[in-house]
Amino acid sequence: MAEENGTGLVPGIDDPGPIGAVREGMHVVDSTGAELGTVQDVKIGDGAAITADGQRMSESVSLFGRIVQEAAGPEPDVEQELAELLLREGYVKIKSRMPLRRAHYAGAAQIAGVRDGVVTLNVPADHLAAEV
């Protein structure tokens, strides 16, 4: 069983870390301070999960949201092995500020913090997974 951190929360289960404060539309900067774009989607994972089964669609998504997600295809849109990891860990999909550029994904462990509506990553942009 996971050990509590003195707050009554179990790290990674009850307390998702910085990704728990991320919201759609927030600005994202990398570890160098470069602005990458805005948060298009947030998926809080389950670090205790052994597989990504059941992680693809949130129960809190409305019927319309489910239809939109199904039409757009499965997320995250990366190679299968990485998709499994991101679904278990959690991820943020970053919409580029440059038109016609592919979106990128930052895993929950790549998020350094969230402050004043800005998500700061602990890696440079070239360490992020690009959408296929």
- Which structural domains are found in the chain, ordered by start? 17-46+59-130 (2.30.30)
Distance CA 38, CA 2 (A): 33
pTM for this one? 0.75
Predicted local distance difference test score (pLDDT) of residue 16: 85
For 64-82, what is each residue's pLDDT tens digit? 555 655 555 678 999 999 9
What's the count of helices (H) and strands (E) in the chain, helices before strands?
Answer: 2, 7
pLDDT in tens, 3-62: 444 545 444 456 789 999 999 999 999 999 999 999 999 999 876 555 545 544 444 445
- Rounded CA gap, 20 and 9, in Å? 13
Question: Other CB atoms closer than 10 Å to residue 108's CB: what's the count?
Answer: 23
